[in-house]
Amino acid sequence: MYCAEEFQKAGVGIFPIRAGVHVGKGNIVAERLIHTGMGISFDIEGTAYERMEHGEFLVRPGEVICLWPLAWHELTEYQGVPLQTIWMELTGSSVPDVARLFGVTRQAPIIRPARREDTYKLFKEIVAGFHSPIRHHPGHFLQRFYRLAELCAESTTRTETARRTTETLVQRAIRVCETGMLTFPTVAELARRLGVSQNTLLNACRRELRISAVELIAQIKLQKAKELLRTTDHKLLHIAEACGFHSLSHFIHSFHQAEHRTPGEWRQRLKRSTESKLRKKRLS
């Protein structure tokens, strides 16, 4: 099994809270809500018909689907064929980055990994570790999880390569900041990771966005903070730290300047709106 406290002490922003294997009988029609974090499922046998807010999808054997937090999805075993899947649900401050790590979006949540058997093996090892009576070090999960993400990303290598050839320097900078799983880079670190000088990065930001590189990073920090406020129940201090703010007061001040309300007020307003929508959906 995995211990959440060990993940937190290690500064890891993601860990599993549920995992298992589902074996159907060919007659399942279910509506589910992913409550706290990203759900990731691998289809072993049968085909799943998934109906979600952003579209309807068929998940076939050998494919992986990512399910977003606080999003309803209707699952049906397609054409009465029994469905067998292996799955995990993740939580933590870095959950919003999982989709980018795997290369999926809400509109395109399905990946066919390059190596099916290796993908299945990694899923089994992660699920086995979750249910094992022996406590595993976070590295046991992380090593397998990031390798799983790597296999999924391999399936979109050609598309990714084509996309990168058309990216501007600023677009590359945004992608690097958004896909960082644990920390935000400084301007100097970002320029180094992009392979350019600070002046080149600064000039590109001024030219393309009419803002400084510092302002660009600040905007991305706030976007990630809003995602964490929306998808987790973490304390404001933890969110401030995860998003690279110097202190809680700095986070609150920056957020209020951008949104004209505090992070706590923004979260409560969003929570009330979400609860209202869920009530209406259940009654309809």
For residue range 84-110, list pLDDT tens digits in order.
Answer: 999 999 988 888 888 888 888 887 889
Of 18-22, 180-184, 210-214, 224-228, the poorest mean pLDDT is in: 180-184
Q: What is the CATH number of domain 167-270?
A: 1.10.10.60
Closest CA relative to residue 38, chosen from 263, 283, 228: 228
pLDDT confidence band for 161 (50 / 70 / 90): low
Average pLDDT of the chain? 85
Of 42-51, 183-192, 210-219, the poorest mean pLDDT is in: 183-192
Structure tokens at 272: 């009330």
Angle at 259 between CA 256 and CA 265, to 5 degrees: 70
What is the residue extent of each domain of the chain? 4-159, 167-270
Structure tokens at 160: 């990714």
Range 129-135, long-range pairs (CB < 8 A, 24+ positions): 129/1, 129/2, 130/1, 130/2, 130/16, 130/18, 130/19, 130/88, 131/1, 131/19, 131/20, 132/1, 133/1, 134/1, 135/1, 135/2, 135/3
In the predicted structure, residue 138 carries a pLDDT above the cut 50:
yes
The pLDDT score that the predictor gives to residue 253 is: 95
Angle between helices 116-131 and 138-154 (to 10 degrees): 160
C-alpha 37/C-alpha 40 separation (Å) is: 10
The class level of CATH for 4-159 reads: mainly beta
The pLDDT score that the predictor gives to residue 141 is: 93
The pLDDT score that the predictor gives to residue 181 is: 43
pLDDT confidence band for 64 (50 / 70 / 90): very high
Across residues 193-214, what is the average pLDDT? 92
Contact 34, 115 (CB under 8 A): no
In the predicted structure, residue 257 carries a pLDDT above the cut 50:
yes
